[in-house]
Amino acid sequence: MTADDGSVAAQVDVEGMALEEAVEAVLAADASRDREQVREALEYVTDDDVVTRSALDEIGAVLAQNVSGAREQASEAQLQLTNAREVADPITDLETVERRLDTYEGEVWGLTEQADDLAERHDALTDRYEDPDSLYAVADEIRAVFDEAQRIEARVYGLKEELSEFETDVTNPEVWINDVQQDLTVVEDALEAVAAAAEALPTADADVEDDWDWADRDVDPPVVWYDATLRVEHVGVLLADLRAELDDLQTWGERKEEFETWYAESVSEDLQTAADRRSELADRLDALARPAWTDRFGGRLADFESELASRDSPVDWVEMQAILDAYRPESLDA
C-alpha cells in the first residue's frame, strides 16, 4: 500500500518541514507505516533538508530515466530470447530445451507486461507533479515506482545472463553436461548433510531420554529428523530434474559424432549413485521416525511435498531453495 490511498497519513501537509520533522508527522498520523520507507519517500522531495515540491523537477527526470530503462531492458530481453530460439532450433525437439525456452518466454512476457504497466503508472504520477494533492502521497508513489523499476531491471539482467548461458549450453552438449555435473556436486553435498543428521539421530530402539548424546544441544531429535526429511525430499526433485536433463543430453550426444559419450555415461553413473543414496537415506529416516515426530510434523511435510509436486521440470533451483527455506526450522543452520 502506498501513501496515495486516501489514508490520514497521505493527507498530512509536510511541505516546508525539515525531513525528520516530516517523517515524524507522517508516523504520528499512521503509526503502522514503516519509518525507513517513509524517510526514503520524503528524501525524494527534500532539498537542503527541507521537504519542498520544487524537488519534483529534478527527481522527476531521474525517475523517467529509470522507467524508460526498465522498458528498454525488457525489450532487449525479448530480442535475446528470439536469438536464443534461433540458436536452439536444431534441438528444440528435446523436452528439456523446449521447456527451458517456454520458461524464458513466460518470464520475458511477464517482465514486458510489468514494464508497460509501470510506464502507465509513471504517466499517471507525472500528471500530479504540477499540483500534487499531497506531497507525501506523490513522494511515496515516486518511491514505489523507483523500487519497481529497479526490481524489473535487476530481474531482466539476471534473465539475460541465463539466456546467454542457455545459448552456450545449446551449442555445446559437453558444456551443458559439465553444468549438470556441477549441480550434482551441490546435491551430493546436501546428501552428506542429511546423512550426518541421520547418523546423529537416536536409533529406532534407543531410549530418547537416556541413550542419545544431544541433551546439551539447542535442538532436539524430532526437529533434526523433520529437517533431514525435508531435505531428502527436496533432493529427490533436484535429482529428477538432473536426470531429465541428462537423458536429453545423451540423446543429443548420439547425434553428434564428436560428442564424448564416456563423459555423459560417467555423469549418469554418478547421478544414479546419488539417487540410490537418497533412497537409502529416505528409508532410513522413515525407519528412525517416532509416532510423536510424525504427529508433530506430518502436516507440514505433506504441505511441503504438495508444493514440490506442483513444480514441473525443469524446476527453478532458486525457487526450490526458497520453498525449502520456508519450511525448514529456524533453529537449524541452512
Q: Could you report the per-residue pLDDT of 102-117, keeping only the tens digit for each? A: 999 999 999 999 999 9
* Residue 139 burial (10 A CB sphere; 0-12, 13-18, 19+): buried
Nearest residue to 232 via CA among 284, 182, 269, 273: 284
Predicted structure pTM score: 0.79
CA distance 96 to 44: 46
- Who's near 86: CB < 8 A, 6+ residues apart? none
Q: Which of the pair, 12 or 270, is modelled with greater confidence? A: 270
**Is it the case that residue 66 has pLDDT exceeding 90?**
yes
Residue 230: how many CB atoms within 10 A of its CB?
23
State the pLDDT confidence band at 314, using cuts at 50, 70 and 90: confident
The per-residue b/e assignment along 20-44, b for 16 or more CB within 10 angstroms, e otherwise, is eebbebbbebeeebeeebbbbbbbb
CA distance 261 to 266: 9
Q: Which of the pair, 13 or 131, is modelled with greater confidence? A: 13
Task: Indicate the range of 23-27, 81-85, 184-188, 329-333 predicted with least confidence.
Answer: 329-333
Q: What is the pLDDT of residues 202-239, one digit of tens each?
A: 876 666 554 445 444 555 889 999 999 999 999 999 99
Looking up cell 520507507 gives 37
pLDDT of residue 209: 52
Mean pLDDT value across residues 190-198:
95
Mean pLDDT of the chain: 88
**Is it the case that residue 163 has pLDDT exceeding 70?**
yes
Report CA-CA distances (Å) from 223 to 200, 227, 329: 12, 6, 7
**Is it the case that residue 36 has pLDDT exceeding 60?**
yes
The per-residue b/e assignment along 68-81, b for 16 or more CB within 10 angstroms, e otherwise, is ebbbebbeebbebb
